[in-house]
Amino acid sequence: MTLAAEALQQRASAEIMAAALLAGEATISYFARTGVTMGATLDALHALQEIERRMAAIHGKANEKRRQIRVHQRAIAKKEVVIEEKQRAIQASQMEIDRIDLDVRTKDVELAKHRDALGAARTNKEYAAILTAINTEKADNTKQESRQLELMASLDTLRAECEEIVTERDAVAERKAAAESALQAYVDESADEVSRLENQRDEASKGVPPTVVATFQRIADRHDAEAMAEVLVLSVKRGEYACGGCNMAMTLQQVIGCKERDDIVLCASCGRILYLGVDGAF
């Protein structure tokens, strides 16, 4: 690189830094006019960050208990589907058993009539025909009775399986009820702490521009209460910095903005509010 090119590059860098400093001075002027001192905004946001973390921890525990309840609800719903299927199968088996029973009893009546007719037969041919009918009906009845016994055994199995699943469902329902009681107890126990933290949040928000508070809350909701991220100084000499929230590289202008003004500077990648740590320097 020639001396002239190097001089032009240094001049361009100086102009960029000067522009950033001018922007910082404009922001300082704005907060001076609105009565908010420089440092107060980020201090308030740090306080809000700690409050959000505590509230998120409370809500997180409550949500975990709610998640357990939903798990129990899904388990109960699945078992009730199986119970309904078993009950339909039981009903169908019972109906088939009743149909066979009625069929067998009807054939028994026919057999009785044929036996009476057998004694009154006048010819060998008539006697043989009636005897054949009797044997056929007896064979049919034997098959039907065998089928009926199989269905009755299957019915006993279905009822036992259904009772077992009902017992399992009831056990899950008890666990669900216990989880609901635990959730309600936790909500009641933490109500005072939540109220105290909400009051602290309202107090910490005083004097901070509403647009900044809204931005902070939106980011906190998106990142599980972690709305702020420290600037990681990777190399001061090379001007390398990164967002402590997502580890993505930052521009020098962003770092200058964090150092020279108290207005919020957002990470271009994750959107968190950036701040310099105690040892942050460049």
Per-residue pLDDT of 138-168, as tens digits, reads 888 889 889 999 999 999 999 999 999 999 9
Q: Which of 153, 182, 204 is the last residue of a domain?
A: 204
Q: What is the pLDDT of residue 113?
A: 86
Q: What is the pLDDT of residue 163?
A: 97
The answer to whether 267 and 226 have CB atoms below 8 angstroms apart is: no
Same domain, 68 and 9: no
Secondary structure tally for the chain: helices H, strands E: 5, 5
Same domain, 188 and 93: yes
Q: Which of 143, 174, 204 is the last residue of a domain?
A: 204
Q: Which of 25-39, 89-103, 120-134 has the highest mean pLDDT?
A: 89-103
Same domain, 68 and 142: yes
The span from the CA of 279 to the CA of 115, in Å, is 111
Q: What is the pLDDT of residue 197?
A: 95
Residue 172 in any domain: the answer is yes
Supply the range of the domain harboring residue 9.
Answer: 3-57+208-275
Q: Which of 175, 204, 233 is the last residue of a domain?
A: 204
Number of separate domains in the chain: 2
Helix (H) or strand (E) holding 46: helix 40-119
The span from the CA of 240 to the CA of 245, in Å, is 16
The span from the CA of 258 to the CA of 280, in Å, is 10
Same domain, 182 and 255: no
Residue 8 reports pLDDT greater than 90: no
Residue 121 reports pLDDT greater than 90: no
Same domain, 173 and 135: yes
Confidence band of 57 (pLDDT split at 50, 70, 90): very high
Residue 237 in any domain: the answer is yes
Least confident of 41-45, 48-52, 96-100, 245-249: 41-45
The span from the CA of 92 to the CA of 66, in Å, is 39
Same domain, 95 and 143: yes
Same domain, 70 and 200: yes
Residue 281 in any domain: the answer is no
Query: Higher-confidence residue: 252 or 29?
Result: 252
Residue 50 reports pLDDT greater than 60: yes
Mean of the pLDDT values across residues 22-36? Answer: 36
Mean of the pLDDT values across residues 166-195? Answer: 97
Residue 282 in any domain: the answer is no
pTM above 0.75, yes or no: no
Same domain, 221 and 159: no
Mean of the pLDDT values across residues 201-230? Answer: 92
Residue 146 in any domain: the answer is yes
